Structures are given as C-alpha cells and as structure tokens.
Structure 1
Amino acid sequence: MQPVSTLPPPASALAPAPLDSFLSQKLRLWSLVAMVLLVYVHAYNLHSRYLQPWTPVDEALSPGTFVQYFLANGLLRFRIPILFAISGYLFAHHDASAPHRVRVKRRLRTLLLPYLLWSTFGLAFTWALEQYPATRQLVLSAELSIFGPGNALVSGYSPGELLLRWLLVPVPFQLWFLRSLLVYNLAYPWIRKAVERGPWVYFSVAGLLWFTEFGIPPLFEGTGLVFFALGVWLRKTEFNVLAPPRWFRLALFAAV
C-alpha cells in the first residue's frame, strides 16, 4: 500500500488545457474587430450624443446620417455582447488555473487599475479643455456632465462629485464596460453555479434584464450579464463553438 501524499498538486496539474489554436486565433480576431468597431461607432456625428437602441431619429435624414444611424445604433451593436461572451468563455476556461480570489486580484490589476487611470485622464483632460473659451464650448456642447446644465463643467464639481465621477461614473462613459466586467468577474462563482444548475431560468431572467436595459447603475447593469454568462455556459458545456449551427443560413441572416 503506497502512502498518500499530502503535498498540493503541482501547478501543471491545475493549469487548464490550452485552447485550440484555431479557436484562440478566432477569439483574438473577433476581439480586435469588436474593439475597432467600438472606436468607430463612438465617432458618429449625430445630434444625440449618446445613442440608445430606442433613441428616436430627431434630425433630417441624409445619406450620411442614415449610414451613421444604421451602423452606430443598429448593425454594429453586436460588439459589446461578443466582447462580454469572449470574456466569460476565457474566464471559465481558466477555472482550474488558480483559486477565484487569486484570479480576482489579477483582474484588479488588469481591469480596475486601467479603469481608474483612464478615468483620471478623462477628468484631467476635460478640466484642461475648460480653461480656454473655444474648447470650453466643446465640453458644453458634448453634454458630458451627469449633474445637469447647471453644473456642466468638471472645474465646478465638488469633492464628492469628483469622487463619484472618478470611481463610478467616469467622464469617458465607455469605461462602463470595464466596470461591469469587473463586477461579473467578482460574481463569477455565483454566475457559474446558476448557469450550471438552472440555465433556462437564469437565461430567461438575464435575457429579460438585457431586453429591458434594467440595472442599478453604476454598480449593476444587466446589459452584459446574459452574454458573459453565455460565454461561461459555452465553455462549461464544452459546446463546439467552431462548428456553425445546422440551422444557421448566412443569406437569411444577412437579409434580416
């Protein structure tokens, strides 16, 4: 009878199986495409500076404005869902690499630190623009303040308002993705358990949150919850993401 070893397993035993090389390339490609489109979409020049799916068209349509609405507020809205799904897939793939608390510490470095640095840069850059009449007008026209037209400039914020905008509601509002992704990473054990034990219930509720845009901003947003969990579910069920579904028809999809 051989003695039972009380030593912890070697690190190699905890390491996840490497991703299929072709799948890894696809995930990298689609991440890059989504990020490029993210920058492109936020470069639109429409009257409403912050478009939502239900934002009405409130200016005369020309070929230019039609293309901008069609791309920025329609066709290219897949970019955020696919980034959340890829993030959930990869986070679930590395489940065995380290305890969750260790992985969260890494995410604090790779998500929270860039979030705080870019939020600081956004505040400082906006404050600098406000120091000159011409660029101050640009800040006012962009309607960046969340406190209304009576408190439209960063230079007029109180210490509490500055802290709120630095930590939770940054001037570069696109940073909400990093904030939400960090929250999902923190909640990953519960998300994984819900997806594994009751996927139909979970996705029904999460899908409703996504459809209704429900959230408790800035700490909880249902926008990406269904897609992050979808990535987790695809990895945990070992779904073959490289094989196109039999029901998928490219021509029909393109027409729709």
Structure 2
Amino acid sequence: MLSQRIWLTRYLMVIGIVILHTPPYQSLTELDLSFFNFIKAFFSHAVFRTSVPMLTVISGYLLFRSKLIEQPLQLITKKARVILLPLILWNIPVVLGIFFIQHYQLTTHIFSVQLSPFDSLNWFNALTGLLSSPANYPLNFLRDLFVLSLISPLLAVLLNRGPWLGAIIVALVFYFNLDGDIILRNTMLISFYIGGLAATQRWNLTKLDPYAIPLLIIFILICSAIVIFDLENRTPLRIIAPFMVWPSMSLLMKYKNGAFLERYVGSSFLTFLAHGPLLLAFWLIYQTFLPKVPYPLFWCAAPLIITIGCAWLHTKLKRYVPTLTSIALGGR
C-alpha cells in the first residue's frame, strides 16, 4: 500500500510539473484575477510549486531507507545509471535541436541556452547542467538530485549521530546559501533531509492521515492566499507542503480515480523527461500556426495531450524496444 501511494504521488507530482511548465511563464504581478488567470496562477504559482519538494522528500526517504546508503561506491554507480545517464541522454536531442534552430535562425524564440556559435563550455553545461540549468531545463531537478545523492553519505552521518542537530546545520546551509551553486535549487536540500529523517527515525507515514481533510483545506487556503496577495516568496510553502500533500494523498487512494491513475504511474519518469521539449514544441506550433485559438484552450490541452501521449508511448516502447527504453529511463 505504501509503495502504491508513493508511485501515485510521484505521478501526480509529475503531471503537476507539466502544468507548471506550460508556457509562457508569467509572474504573479502580471496576472490579473480574472477567473482563468486565477486558476492558472493557483496551480502554476502555488499548488504545483510543491511538486519538486514532494518528489525530493520521496527520493530522500527511499534512499535512506535502502541499504545502498551503506555502500557509497555502489550508490554512486547506481545513481549515475538511474539519474545522470537519463539527464545526459535526454539533453542530447534538445541541444542538437536548439543548435540547429539558432544556427539557421529559424525562430525568434529566446532559449535558456546559447549554443550557436559553438562553445564547448556552453555545450557541456547544456548537456549536464554543471553550472546552471541544462538545455532540457526541467531536468535541473535530476542534476540537483544527483548532487544530493553524492553527498548523502555525509547527510547519513548527521541523520544517524545527531538528526536534529543535522537538521539545524542543513537549515543554516540553506538559509545562508552556503552550498552556492552546488545545489541550484537549495530548498531541495531541506526536502531531501526531511525524507532522510522520515526514513531513519522511522516516522509513521500514516500518522497525519486522519487529518487529511483539514490539512488539504489549509493547503488550498494557503495556495489561494499566495495568488490573491501576490506572494512571490513560496519557500515556506515548499518546506511545509509535504506535511499537507502526503496526507491528502490518502484521500485519493480511497477512490476509483486513484486506481485508474495507478495503471499509468510507470510512465511518470518518461513524462518528466520528455515534457520540457514537448511543451516548447507545442508552444512554437501554437504561436506560429494557431494564434487564433484561445490561450486557455492551449493551457488545458497541452499538458493533457503530453500526459496521455507519454503514457501511450511508454507502453509501446516497453513492448517493442524494452532494452533501449530501460537504458533511456535509467533502468526503470
């Protein structure tokens, strides 16, 4: 039951990330409180800003619960295969595509990376995210997750010898940004450590389930307040969100919708890896060929098409090219 809930939560968070990344990005101050803009801001600037923290907590929990943490060499080898390899593989076509577009000036769209003229450092960064977000920009999550995996043996020492002192140290590193550019999204350090606490301290992960409804209501109210009052600082929400989102997932597990989604949870990683370039392609097509189509229709349709399409594609790839699919998905 716990594993099912973890898989379902992961899948919903990935769907949330697809919605979150649907272009164009607009700050809260740019959005008025019309009905559609409120809905867009509610999900894009509040609800699904908690997706990465939730995924990071789960990753930390699973890592520190496993015996892999006691075998650093095997840990690095496995994480290189399941995180670093997909990060690089799924950046290659995006890097080549952006280079081709920029080289021949096929669009005026401004990309997050400049790859033409060729510069080896820019290309290396675009492929790996070494210094900043990679070309396939959502994969900066994998980049930071790989770094967290590398330092997890150090975090394990804190978790095993002084977990709450370790929490204070991690909080100070986060607050003063002592990690610099080692972790690009440094709130992930806190989320990862919380997952480690849950694993090493053997937290009862269903303890808050009886309070799922009030916690969900509080979560909705906080997200609504963020939109209504234009609160750009969402760091507190990112930190506390797992304690509201995780119990809320117990509600979904009780209904048929949860059972329906469980059929497709295996496609979550493919959806995450592919959604960035797919959204960009959809956006360029929309701007070029379908400018008269109402934007709300695009905003609703693009994530839906990508989610359904990736679920279908995952099934076909696993059936017809299982070995290549396994490599591309890091052994998943």
The structural deviation recorded for 1:183 is 1.0
More displaced 10-residue stretch of structure 1: 235-244 or 78-87 = 235-244
- Say whether residues 1:128 and 2:100 are aligned partners: yes
1:64 to 33, 36, 49: 36
Q: Which moved more, 1:123-132 or 1:176-185?
A: 123-132
Aligned mate of 1:235, from 181, 187, 199: 199
Where relative contact order (Cα < 8 A, 6+ residues apart) is larger, the structure is 2
Equivalent AA in structure 2 for residue 90 of structure 1: L
Structure 1 segments unaligned to the other structure (5+ residues): 1-21, 49-54, 146-152
CA distance in 2, matches of 1:87, 1:39: 19
1:102-251 paired onto structure 2 within 5 Å = 102-130=74-102, 133=105, 135-138=106-109, 140=110, 143-145=111-113, 153-167=114-128, 168=130, 169=132, 170-207=134-171, 210=174, 215-217=179-181, 219=183, 221-244=185-208, 249-250=214-215, 251=217
What's 1:42 paired with?
21
Range 212-221 or range 226-235, more displaced: 212-221
Rounded to whole Å, the distance in 2 between the matches of 1:119 and 1:218 is: 20
State the aligned residue count.
Answer: 217
Q: In structure 2, do the counterparts of structure 1 residues 41 and 212 end up closer, same or farther at CA, with 3 Å as the change threshold? A: farther
User: How far has the Cα of 1:104 moved from its partner?
Assistant: 1.6
C-alpha distance in structure 2 between counterparts of 1:203 and 1:98, whole Å: 20
| Cα deviation, residue 89, structure 1 | 0.9
| CA 242–37 in structure 1, closer or farther in 2 if over 3 Å, else same | same
Question: What is the deviation of 1:159?
Answer: 2.1
Tell me if the contact between 2:147 and 2:182 (Cα under 8 Å) persists in the aligned partners.
no
Q: Is the 8 A contact 1:214 1:222 kept in 2?
A: no
Map of 1:88-99 to 2, 5 A cutoff?
Answer: 88-95=60-67, 99=71
Whether contact under 8 Å (1:84, 1:227) holds in the other structure is yes
- CA contact under 8 A between 1:214 and 1:223: conserved in structure 2? no
Structure in which a larger fraction of residues adopt helix? 2
Provide the rounded CA distance (Å) in 2 between the counterparts of 1:80 and 1:87: 10
Give me the whole-angstrom Cα distance separating, in 1, the residues matched to 2:165 and 2:91.
36
Residue in 1 that maps onto 2:8: 29
Following superposition, the deviation at residue 96 of structure 1 comes to 5.8
Gaps of 5+ in 2: 223-332
Partner of 1:83: 55
Q: Match for 1:38: what amino acid? A: I
TM-score normalised to structure 1 length = 0.73
Aligned to 1:136, what secondary structure does the other structure show? coil
Secondary structure of 2:46's counterpart equals: helix
Aligned-pair Cα RMSD in Å = 2.7
Identical-residue share of aligned pairs (%): 22
Within 2, Cα distance between the matches of 1:214 and 1:70? Answer: 32
Distance 2:170 2:135 in 1: 28
CA gap of 1:94–1:33, structure 2 versus 1, over 3 A, is same
